[in-house]
Amino acid sequence: MKILTATEMQSVDRWTAEEFGISLDRLMEAAGGAVAQFCLRQYPAAIRVVALCGKGNNGGDGFVAARVLAQAGRLVRVVLLGRVTEVKGEAATALRKLREEFSSVAVDEVVDEGGLTACAGVMNEAELLLDAVVGTGFKPPLRGLAVSLRGMVEGLGTPVVAVDLPSGWDANSKEQTAAGSFRADGVVTFTAPKIAHVFGHLTRNERTGGVFGPVVVAGIGSPEDAVVSASGFSWAGSSKAMAERPRDVNSNKGRFGHVLVVGGSYGKAGAPAMASLACLRTGAGLVTAAVPKSILDLVAGIAPELMTVPLAEGTKGSVSFKNLDGAKLDALVKKISVVAVGPGLSTEGDAPAFARQIVEKTSVPVVIDADALNAFEGKTELLHGEGRVMVLTPHPGEMARLAGMTVKEVEADRVGLARRFAMEHKLTLVLKGWRTLIAHPDGSIAVNTNGNPAMAKGGSGDILTGIVAGMLAQYPNDVARAVETAVYLHGLAGDYAAHAMDEHTVLATDTVTHLSDAFRYRVVDADGLVWICGLRS
């Protein structure tokens, strides 16, 4: 699923009409109908509905939604910011159809503050509000009556479903928040997500304890050929379909790869143990943990299915360079499909040089995380994926060390930095954080839209490393989608964990517990809506 700018979305609509003969009226009918169906399904008990509509096409979508809701037996009222005579084009057609078919639906024309105050009682009685004031084509900030209306909505506890975008949000914004925009409990957009849908936190409602509400995409008839994007952005969740295919009934463990997890040091047995457990739960056929001998029993205790290999130790319980002598490395990586190196590895003694050498001397796909990433600080010229598969999974601090900059500088240009680094080093870069980015060697970037603050715990990165390695072992010929799926599954499992528990109490291993829920989850619901944010029941 491509991610579009506001201008690209307008081009899609225009091309759909001009080249494919699907009129803008039909697109508006489909869009408003999708909003109404979402409301009926998500808020079945909401009988009194007030549609807050502007005079443009976003308002037109709201008029259609109001009509469909009225057809379904809801008591609908429209608050129009402006006069009926000021509504033009397709929106005027939608409004006229609403008034002709349902004369019982009152349309309150609001042209001044007094008119808005007169609508306060109607809004107070509403059980659901539709925000259809302005949409994708709007350039902030809101002005005039829209600002006053936003203040009224903010003071209500009524759920709000935004049509296309919460009014006042810039569709092209990569910012997490947008001061001055309407709040929303759910968002229904059309055809494809825009930049703001994937980077913005559109539906966090402090009134509901910070619960993440749904953001969904409805297809409204635009052919796939009409959806053109120059940004190089896509949605990571689109790749998850690869993890939904049933396995061949005539399967064996050899078909699903053998992962070698290399890491650990004295006091850090948990990191390689968690990575190994996550790898097993993701579906790898075999997983072996190569860890310092002193912690081997602790790591082995994570799961009886896990195989282990003891590594010679050097300074402070970290791995020794002796492990790479002679035929030891060949024996270590024999029949291995993927190497995941770094979890708990330490930066003491030989560990950094050991990490660099194992990356250099192995030719199988490699996932590099944690202290193995730190081993390349100032030596990033050694990181090159030409002719092999290399995946890096840094958090902003690790990325800052690799790039020779501050964390603040990393966060200021996450997209640009991730794209440049991936292209220059010909590897896949998973830059973790708010809206984790998966940057590929060709310059394309997939954006992940799930995950939550409950995952801000030690061990979460180790779990992700294991999931990435497990997916690569099973899908070695589809690297980009395998990594995107891994990141999406990790965040989705974290969302399930946070839903089942209080977000303060979630541990990294709880995400592994909920991996089965993540695998079973389908991003497309029974109505054909694609859920890019939020969990549906």
Q: What pLDDT is stored for residue 329 in this prediction?
A: 83
378 is in an annotated binding site: no
Residue 44 tokens read as 């079945």
Phi, psi dihedral angles at 204 (to 5 degrees)? -80, 120
For residue 90, give Cα distances in angstroms to 24, 64, 95, 134: 7, 11, 9, 15
Contacts for 232 with CB less than 8 Å, ≥ 6 apart:
419, 443, 444, 445
Q: What pLDDT is stored for residue 212 in this prediction?
A: 79
CATH fold label, 6-227: Rossmann fold (3.40.50)
185 is in an annotated binding site: no
Share of the chain above pLDDT 70, in %: 98
Domain 6-227 identical in fold to domain 238-243+252-518: no
pLDDT above 50 for 210? no
450 is in an annotated binding site: no
138 is in an annotated binding site: yes
More confident residue, 206 or 311: 311
Tens-place pLDDT, residues 426-477? 999 999 999 999 999 999 999 999 999 999 999 999 999 999 999 999 999 9
2 is in an annotated binding site: no
Tens-place pLDDT, residues 73-96? 999 999 999 999 999 999 999 999
Could you tell me which of 421, 343, 342 has the C-alpha nearest to residue 375?
Answer: 342
- The whole-angstrom separation of Cα 217 and Cα 258 is 37
Helix/strand/coil for 534:
coil
213 is in an annotated binding site: no
59 is in an annotated binding site: yes
**Given pLDDT bands bounded at 50, 70 and 90, which one contains residue 316?**
confident
Q: Give me the helices (H) in 307-431, please.
A: 328-333, 351-361, 370-374, 396-403, 407-412, 414-425
Share of the chain above pLDDT 90, in %: 94
**Given pLDDT bands bounded at 50, 70 and 90, which one contains residue 537?**
confident
Could you tell me which of 461, 439, 453 has the C-alpha nearest to residue 390?
Answer: 439
Tens-place pLDDT, residues 35-63? 999 999 999 999 999 999 999 999 999 99
167 is in an annotated binding site: yes
- The whole-angstrom separation of Cα 446 and Cα 483 is 10
**Given pLDDT bands bounded at 50, 70 and 90, which one contains residue 323?**
confident
57 is in an annotated binding site: yes
186 is in an annotated binding site: no
476 is in an annotated binding site: no
pLDDT above 70 for 25? yes
140 is in an annotated binding site: yes
- The whole-angstrom separation of Cα 390 and Cα 386 is 9
Alpha carbons within 13 A on the beta-carbon side of 328: 15
435 is in an annotated binding site: yes
Q: What is the mean pLDDT of residues 379-384?
A: 96
Helix/strand/coil for 9:
helix
114 is in an annotated binding site: no
pLDDT above 80 for 414? yes
Could you tell me which of 24, 115, 6 has the C-alpha nearest to residue 61?
Answer: 24
Tens-place pLDDT, residues 394-411? 999 999 999 999 999 999
* pTM score, whole prediction: 0.96
- The whole-angstrom separation of Cα 497 and Cα 517 is 10
- The whole-angstrom separation of Cα 175 and Cα 173 is 5
141 is in an annotated binding site: yes
461 is in an annotated binding site: yes
| Cβ density class 252-267: b for 16+ within 10 Å, e for less | eeeebbbbbbbbbbbe
- Say which DSSP state 250 is in: S
Q: What is the mean pLDDT of residues 504-515?
A: 97
**Given pLDDT bands bounded at 50, 70 and 90, which one contains residue 211?**
low
Q: Which CATH superfamily is domain 238-243+252-518 in?
A: Ribokinase (3.40.1190.20)
**Angle (nearest 5°) at CA 148 between 143 and 153:** 125
Q: What pLDDT is stored for residue 208 in this prediction?
A: 44
- Say which DSSP state 393 is in: -
Rounded to 5, what percent of the chain is helix, strand, coil? Answer: 45, 15, 40
Q: Note the maximum CA span of the chain.
A: 86
Mean pLDDT estimate for the chain: 95
Tens-place pLDDT, residues 245-275? 999 999 999 999 999 999 999 999 999 999 9
397 is in an annotated binding site: no
Phi, psi dihedral angles at 336 (to 5 degrees)? -90, 140
Contacts for 171 with CB less than 8 Å, ≥ 6 apart:
5, 6, 9, 135, 136, 137, 138, 165, 194, 195, 196
For residue 377, give Cα distances in angstroms to 9, 356, 430, 531: 41, 11, 17, 38
**Given pLDDT bands bounded at 50, 70 and 90, which one contains residue 139?**
very high
**Given pLDDT bands bounded at 50, 70 and 90, which one contains residue 326?**
low
Tens-place pLDDT, residues 215-241? 999 999 999 999 999 989 999 999 999
Q: What pLDDT is stored for residue 206 in this prediction?
A: 56
**In the chain, where the domains are located:** 6-227, 238-243+252-518
